[in-house]
Structure 1
Amino acid sequence: MMKKLFWLVLSTVILTGQSVFAQETNSETQSSQREDSLLQVVNELSGRVKKTEDAARNERIWKKRAKYFNIGYITNQTLTDKVDAEAEWKSDFGVSLAFGKTYYLHKKPLLNMIKFGIDATWFDISYAKYSEPDAYANDGAYTRAYGDYGGYDYDDEEDIDLGIHQIDASMHVGPSITVNPIGDLKVAAYFHYVPTYSMLVIDDSFGHGYVSNFAFGASVAYKAISFGIEHRWAKKATYNGLSFDDEGIDYEDPAFDDVIQSDKWKMKSKSFRIFLSFRY
């Protein structure tokens, strides 16, 4: 009888211990599962917050700042006659206006800060006023600009003098790279092909023609405001020139060909400009 009682008590103690151990193990497992579930929720929320922040940053930095409107000042522009190399005009001043858009080639910035794009300037117009060239031929006659002034004193003639002016209307297209190192700060560099329709007034002569210009530049932008510099050049430009020649007029039987003379002007040009840009 005592032996049976002993084994009954021992069995009860063992079963009770196993039950307690099982309950503790189950409690620890449930606690671990709750922690894992909570960690998963936190990670999901963090991922969603990061995606939202990245989307907002991409919208603010890249999408909202792709278009631009530039106001430029031409600090130095030269125009050189390739036939008469002594005739070189230097600008007194010049201004320009341009607007366009940068089309980025990929959605996500490389290294989270670099984007390559194609710049398309839809319209660019510039105006420059020049001074008379300080150049004379070896015989002391004034160099061609445009019209042959050799043989008489140019200063004593009362010819038409409209001054020297240049108006260019152009478009731009070319690659660019933009770096966003921190915050709303962006630094960009570009190279553009600039097809241009150019018009020149030189005293009593008018010339016009197509010019293939090229340009490279750089800018620094903070939010909507940008400041930049640009160098532009054309190695060869041919203008269809027209000039007024009152000496050839036959007043008894005037003819258009006697008054208006046509010519081909071969030029090269270069300019340096600074610009203030508004990006939107």
Structure 2
Amino acid sequence: MLEEAKEILGSLGIPFFLRQGTCLGAVRDQAFIPWDDDVDLGSVIGLNGLAEDMLDPVFNAFRDRGYYVNVERNDRWIAAGIMKSSTRVDLTFFHIINDSISHFPFIWIPARLFANLKEIEFMGGKYLAPNPPEEYLSTKYGPNWTTPKQDYEKDVLDQVAKSPAVPVAPTPGQPKTKIRILDRRGESVRGAEVFVVGIADACADENGYVEFGLPYKDFYAVVINFDDHEEILYQELMSPGSSYVYTSDISTSNGRLMALTEELEVAP
């Protein structure tokens, strides 16, 4: 699928680079990471000849090849989830904000790393990577990026604190998002500490609720602490104005994806 994506993008003159887990596997292991289930590609609007009006033909070209394409847009990026069978490509076109681009979860990476991309060999072909790739990977994954590990989430979240602060604010008047914290018995946890990475932190009220102002529907990383329990929810899809429920799982401290369930009726 990577090879076909390269062919489609190349035919349209779209510059792209390997990013996130795909770049990490290419540089560190010269292979795909076994537990990484998608292909991560990117490009930066305004660099290397890429203009925003070039993107719709890209999405249509993948559709013409039989791919399902879902496009999401916000002020930080235009992202396409591209699927055929069980294989997924995450193709993201980034906007430059304050000389940086935003990588999940709100890690701001200098745009200069994408101005003069570096050619590397990967899976029998030649691909482009941020330059230098080592600086890109250490900015995203931390100084221990050269050591393979499945529980990498904590390392990535540590990088958020080191990243330049770029304000991300909700639209004025936008409804709050709620998360209700429950323990493994299903009881509300008063005083639980909840951190939505890149947004804010809050303590749960007597009914276990916290509130946040989210800027838009997106994937967010959430860290939850109470008593001696901590869990990192690395990828949770949340929308402004919605309410969600978290139920603790004592068997894990990270690794769960989409663990929040939507609450249709908010408890009094």
TM range (shorter): under 0.3
Q: Which of 1 and 2 has higher RCO (CA within 8 Å, sep 6+)? A: 1
Return the structure number with greater strand share: 1
Q: TM-score, normalised by structure 2?
A: 0.22
Q: Larger Rg: 1 or 2?
A: 1
Structure number with the higher helix fraction is: 1
